[in-house]
Amino acid sequence: MREITVEQITEAVKRMSIEAACDLPEDVEKLLKEAVATEESQFGKYSLEKIVKNVELARAEHAPMCQDTGIVIVFAEVGQDARIVGGSLNDAINEGVRQGYQEGYLRKSVVRDPVLDRKNTGDNTPAVIYTELVPGDKIKIQVLPKGAGSENMGALKMLKPAEGLEGVKDFIIKAVTQAGGNPCPPVIVGVGIGGTMDKSTLLAKKALARQAGQPHPNPKYQALEEELLVEINKLGIGPQGFGGKVTALAVHIETYPTHIATMPVSVCLNCHAARHKEAIL
Amino acid sequence: MTNIKKITTPLTDEVVKGLKAGDQVSISGVIYTARDAAHKLLTEAIQAGEELPVDFNNQIIYYAGPTPAKPGKVIGSCGPTTSGRMDAYSPLMMEQGLKGMIGKGPRSKEVVEAMIANHVVYFAAIGGAAALIADSVKEAEVVAFDELGPEAIRRLVVEDYPCIVAIDSEGHNLYELGVQQYKIVD
């Protein structure tokens, strides 16, 4: 069995937490720069120019591009032939978050209880951790610090199968319309279809871990992604909600088989600061 | 967007009335950060008849919770948060004399009505452009609710803080006007 130490995991999570906050991945930056050229609205273009300038400044100064450095979502794919030594996986991840948010001067934005005792935990832990057991002897860790401005605009609906493709499209468009200028558009639209209630929301979130703009492998879903992107950009919401042609940078759909009686659809929006990093140990 | 209106705080009714939706503005002077948790505490204090830790008369509240300042820096990254979450509290703050709000995203009908009634302006800054915005913050000091960490009320001295008049004191609303202009109906 291949051994991976908790120190390696902590170090990787720490490094990715800081990098994610300060260094926007190229895939997202590329789409933002294209959007500057596409956008026609005065305030939309102004916003996009500032956003691109901010990305460059944040990278140069190692400063967080957004003050909402998020709650950390971690997707860990653990090879079933890998052995984690020295402690637990969850503790190792949370220690990485703790160290990263402290040493990287990132904002601590997690409260210890959602309703009755909203006291800040002071170290941005715990992360939201999803672990999947996969073949192999490696561990793949994806880190997505998620801001709440966009997260608050997520939506889920349990559609009837009879509502069909039109029902799916309507719901996604409605979710983006209702979000309006709140989630810091231009957004990346994560869509999860199928499975169960919980599975569809997880798929929608996982869709955001994809390289921005990378199409779905199935040509039919790729066409649906393209169609939805066009329709969303007709809504006129525009960058920051000021009106314009670029409301979304990309639509990512993930699917899963589902029950004969149901068709769950979830929408998870990511702001233009679509931060994601990954490492393979 | 060449005509940038320069304004200084505290605001006056005359200055507020002169600002129109779509104006590009640069703000200099003192502004106060407050977001969800601080607004909740302020509202509770007002309802209990207690004195507020800050006199908001003619002032601007900035919906923001910055990242920690690195050594040698005044403040960390410091962009606006979603204003809609403060909608429930804002009318009461306007009754305390608040004249301006800075944030991002649309506001509720109730907030816009209270803005018209109290001659208040709502500015939008660029959400997510937080490293850039930090450059215009020259001083920062926690003045209330230190225990809230990033949500504490901070007194900021800003110089040429850039923003846009998103909703003016007559209720003209850039979020509605802009979207109407670019919405494509097949």
Residues in A touching B179 (Cβ below 8 Å): 180, 235-238, 241, 243
Judged by CB atoms closer than 8 Å, whether chains meet at A181 and B175 is answered as yes
Q: Give residue-wise pLDDT tens across range B138-165.
A: 999 999 999 999 999 999 999 999 999 9
The conformation of residue A82, written as its DSSP 8-state character, comes to: E
A20: which 2 tokens? 């994610």
> Do you find a cis peptide bond into B106, omega within 30 degrees of 0?
no
CB contacts < 8 A, A to B, total 165
Selecting from A44, A53, A108 the residue whose C-beta is nearest the C-beta of B150 gives A108
Q: Give residue-wise pLDDT tens across range B58-117.
A: 999 999 999 999 999 999 999 999 999 999 999 999 999 999 999 999 999 999 999 999
pTM over 0.80: yes
Neighbours of B104 (CB within 10 A): 28
ipTM of the shown complex: 0.94
A241: which 2 tokens? 């909600």
Judged by CB atoms closer than 8 Å, whether chains meet at A41 and B174 is answered as no
Judged by DSSP in three states, B56 sits in: coil
Q: Give residue-wise pLDDT tens across range A179-194.
A: 999 999 999 999 999 9
State the span(s) of chain A assigned CATH 3.30.360. 2-20+65-146
Judged by CB atoms closer than 8 Å, whether chains meet at A120 and B1 is answered as no
CA distance A250 to B81: 23
Nearest-neighbour CA in chain B from A158: distance (Å): 27
Nearest in space to B52 (alpha carbons), one of B171, B120, B145, B186:
B145
Nearest-neighbour CA in chain A from B96: distance (Å): 26
Give the H/E segment covering residue A279. strand A277-280
Question: Distance between alpha carbon A49 and the CA centroid of its chain, in Å?
Answer: 22
Q: Give residue-wise pLDDT tens across range A162-172.
A: 999 999 999 99
Judged by CB atoms closer than 8 Å, whether chains meet at B181 and A41 is answered as yes
CA distance A31 to A271: 13
Nearest in space to B77 (alpha carbons), one of A29, A70, A71, A128:
A70
CA distance A139 to A81: 10
Ordered domains of chain B (ranges, CATH): 13-182 (3.20.130.10)
Residues forming beta bridges with residue A189, ordered by sequence position? A251, A269
Selecting from B85, B148, B150 the residue whose C-beta is nearest the C-beta of A107 gives B150
CATH number assigned to the domain with residue range A2-20+65-146, chosen from the 4 options 3.30.360, 3.40.50, 3.30.1360, 1.10.3470: 3.30.360
